[in-house]
Amino acid sequence: MVAEGSTAQRRLLGASRTGIAFLAAGSLLLAIVGAFFAYQAYIDTRYDDVVVTAPLTLPTQQELFTPFSPPAAIIDLPSEIANGDLTLASLYPGTEIAPQFWANPFWAKDVDVASITAGFLPLSEVTLPDSGLGPATLVRIPIIGLEVGTIELTSLPFGDGEKYAAASFELGIIPGQPTPGEIGNTWLFGHLESPIRGEGSVFRDLPKVHDFLRQGQAVYVIIDSVDGSFLYQATEFQIMHRDDVRLWGSTGRIATLVSSWPRFKYDERVVVTTVLVGVRLNDSSDVS
């Protein structure tokens, strides 16, 4: 009788442990699902403006290509603090600091428009051909600290058409599409992240363009080729379903940057439209 009772107790104890394990696993699964939906709700609220536009800084406006000279008070803040001469007026010199930096004016010295636009000429002073320019070789977005090379993508069969896989650790360009400086739309594709395949995350900070445009900050994209450097300004940020993204063209000179979105789901695309505003040609370029 004692042995039978002990066996029954062990069985009951084993069943209880199994039940507790299933309960813990179920609770963990519910927590993961709840966290995912909470994250999705946060993303939907955080990026409620699925389309954000910004006014284009026209190349005819002198301020785009005029070197930015912050006042000495901003440049010499550390020494002023040491000398006790820091004043409210020196921290807020009107239009010299973009609104998003008013909460911390010390960051203003990092926004160096002059270094970005230096050497570029407005389109009104350059004659560019409609086509025939070289493909992109390097892409820089200074405001998010991006500098990355490019690679030509290979097409893969997909239904009645074809598809292109994003490049690993580089930005992908599609052959046969307009190149930097040409009339049309220059497409650039990159990974937001690739935790499983390990293909890099060159566009991990591209979604930040959303906030910069909403805050009124100019976002510049510099695309290099064998012919020179081409300065583009971001004019629109969109979040689109992946099925809605098609290779559309343009009668102007634009470039479109695309990345998967959001994290953990990747069924949408961040689409940033930029417009050519400046050109810096190489001395060896045949472009006149």
> Does 274 map to a domain?
yes
pLDDT on residue 288? 57
Domain check: are 20 and 128 in the same one?
no
pLDDT on residue 8? 67
Q: What is the CATH number of the domain that holds 241?
A: 2.40.260.10
Question: Are residues 259 and 237 in contact, defined by beta-carbon separation less than 8 angstroms?
Answer: no
pLDDT on residue 165? 73
Domain check: are 153 and 17 in the same one?
no
- For the record, the structure tokens of 273 come out as 């439209």
Residue type, 75: I
Closest CA to 278 of 116, 68, 55: 116
- Residue 100: Cβ within 10 Å count: 16
158-192 pLDDT per residue, tens: 666 667 777 889 999 988 999 999 999 999 999 88
> Does 87 map to a domain?
no
pLDDT on residue 183? 97
- For the record, the structure tokens of 47 come out as 């990026």
What is the enclosing helix (H) or strand (E) of 212?
helix 209-214
Domain check: are 145 and 270 in the same one?
yes
Question: Are residues 218 and 231 in contact, defined by beta-carbon separation less than 8 angstroms?
Answer: no
Domain that holds residue 135: 51-58+123-281
Q: How confident is the model at residue 20 (pLDDT cuts 50, 70, 90)?
A: confident
> Does 76 map to a domain?
no
Q: What value does the mean pLDDT take over residues 255-276?
A: 90
Domain check: are 31 and 127 in the same one?
no
Write the CA distances from 225 to 113, 183, 201, 214, 230, integer angstroms.
22, 15, 23, 30, 8
Q: 267 pLDDT exceeds 60?
A: yes
Domain check: are 128 and 11 in the same one?
no
Domain check: are 139 and 36 in the same one?
no
> Does 106 map to a domain?
no
Mean pLDDT check: name the lowest of 218-222, 245-249, 256-260.
245-249
218-245 pLDDT per residue, tens: 899 999 999 999 999 999 999 988 888 8
Q: How confident is the model at residue 12 (pLDDT cuts 50, 70, 90)?
A: low
> Of 32-36, 182-186, 214-218, which has the strongest mean pLDDT?
182-186
Look up tokens 């805050």; give the residue.
Answer: 215
Integer Cα distance of 134 and 59 in angstroms: 23
Cβ-proximal residues to 181 (8 Å cutoff; 6+ apart), any chain = 128, 133, 225, 227, 228, 230, 253, 276, 279, 287
**Sign of dihedral through CA atoms 152, 157, 161, 163?**
negative
Question: Are residues 120 and 103 in contact, defined by beta-carbon separation less than 8 angstroms?
Answer: no
> Does 31 map to a domain?
yes
> Does 63 map to a domain?
no
- Residue 183 phi, psi (nearest 5): -70, 135
Query: How many domains does the structure of the chain reveal?
Result: 2
Q: What value does the mean pLDDT take over residues 20-40?
A: 65
- For the record, the structure tokens of 217 come out as 């900050």
Cα–chain center distance at 15: 53
